[in-house]
Structure 1
């Protein structure tokens, strides 16, 4: 991806102070937001998560209107854009203790959206199991905080371009998510998604699916349960609803639940393929 434009605290810039706590400690949050022809259908969900996560970290929340203005400014001219909003706790003295009156740093950057191939949405993608496991930390669970080292280590496990994603377990062996997406499965006719109360990210696309499928079960999901699922799909605010064709040697096929959620995604204004 090529960065189209970057604003730091509202001004064009592409550098950050070495004293910023986001760089020193990963002390901050981010959102990656899909824009289609200047519209972000899940904007309100992104801002809700950012606001709630800021509260949990004891950081001042960013102004949603200002963020939208800057997001539109940096993505101008991009029909399909991904805007990343990064909010750090800002500058601070050396040491872990946060400043008493933090002044957050706000970084808004636009990228060209990844090219989406229609075949991935029709037939599905292959995924693998990752050896890296997610640690349990309820204080950070659900948030999209800046420390993504677990995901970095997991993604470094393979380089096969035919396998775009990997599934992560927690330390107790429960299925949690993919490296960049949440996971849903249809088991015995019921839609199931793993809980993210102790680790993992509560994705905004996941929230959208749950708002449509009020009958979905949120809870523990074991690998052997996933193996007998009739449908498996991933949800991502950037890539949408992706059917899973296979997890390792276990083969699946897109079914009616997956297709219905893809149709809902289109209805929101997101494309399911991009030439």
Structure 2
């Protein structure tokens, strides 16, 4: 298995018919593993895919070399079927690869510059929340900027409601209340976000860009990079909509995120 080539007729290659997970592995120990496996199982149920054997999946992180690695898992429906019709008895194909990883502490400390994307996400509740292989919307959104100072792009839906960043979730604090976009129609439910919601009162809501402009603090986050506070938000044309100064209101959520991922609190610049 591993990262060997897939055949031309693999349905993941042809149709995006499959799922993936990206897992932080620290000295052979996977971080938020149960949350990743739970999301993979939800995705398999939605797509009607048999899950790979648990013992096969659970053995993979131990193959990593020491230090920080990122394990990317791909599960496709395999080959077979005629056109879009799925095979009567799918034989899923599992592939994986490890890559060395180094986080970006400066972004934790100083915050990041983000922008709104022109692209609007379409609604498909059946696919909302899971990490399926068809990520063309995210690819097109990421093509909208090349400037290295822009760390992420924020995505909205057809009704201009905030959804997520191109590869991260979005959380903000407004009037003392932690909020995150509702992901029932589109977007990916990140494992760091879902785990943080077990520890902090983060409320899902439908909100537009005004919510971010009113926010005392905001973050983009995922289970590999951790939580980056927003320092500046631009519109899709590059005009500045909001600036934040890093302060104590940015650190509470970050401290929880750091602890969940095993990153030191000292990297936030705190004593």
Query: Is the structural similarity TM-score above 0.5?
Result: yes
State the partner residue of 1:5. Answer: none
CA deviations over 1:161-183 (Å, ceiling 9, x no partner): 11121100111100111001000
Question: How far does residue 265 in structure 1 lie from its aligned partner after superposition?
Answer: 2.8
State the partner residue of 1:80. Answer: 68
1:107 aligns with 2:118: no
Segment drifting more, 263-272 vs 235-244: 263-272
Task: Identify unmatched segments of 5+ residues in structure 2.
Answer: 235-239
1:16 aligns with 2:3: no
1:224 aligns with 2:210: yes
Aligned length: 260
Q: Distance in 1 between matches of 2:119 and 2:186?
A: 13
1:94 aligns with 2:82: yes
| Contact in 1 for aligned 2:3/2:95 (Cα 8 Å) | no
Tell me the TM-score normalised to structure 2 length.
0.91
Q: Distance in 1 between matches of 2:260 and 2:215?
A: 27
Question: How far does residue 257 in structure 1 lie from its aligned partner after superposition?
Answer: 4.9
Counterparts of 1:25-64 in structure 2, within 5 Å, are 25-64=15-54
Distance 1:173 1:242, change over 3 A: same
Question: How far does residue 235 in structure 1 lie from its aligned partner after superposition?
Answer: 1.6
Segment drifting more, 251-260 vs 118-127: 251-260
State the partner residue of 1:264. Answer: 256
State the partner residue of 1:70. Answer: 60
Q: Distance in 1 between matches of 2:260 and 2:189?
A: 20
Q: Distance in 1 between matches of 2:89 and 2:82?
A: 15
State the partner residue of 1:155. Answer: 142
Tell me the TM-score normalised to structure 1 length.
0.90
Question: How far does residue 269 in structure 1 lie from its aligned partner after superposition?
Answer: 4.7
Q: Distance in 2 between matches of 1:247 and 1:13?
A: 38
Task: Identify unmatched segments of 5+ residues in structure 1.
Answer: 1-7
| Contact in 1 for aligned 2:23/2:31 (Cα 8 Å) | no
| Contact in 2 for aligned 1:126/1:165 (Cα 8 Å) | yes
CA deviations over 1:47-77 (Å, ceiling 9, x no partner): 000011101111101223311212322x2x2
Question: How far does residue 217 in structure 1 lie from its aligned partner after superposition?
Answer: 1.3
| Contact in 1 for aligned 2:155/2:162 (Cα 8 Å) | yes
State the partner residue of 1:4. Answer: none
Question: How far does residue 254 in structure 1 lie from its aligned partner after superposition?
Answer: 3.7
Q: Distance in 2 between matches of 1:32 and 1:133?
A: 24
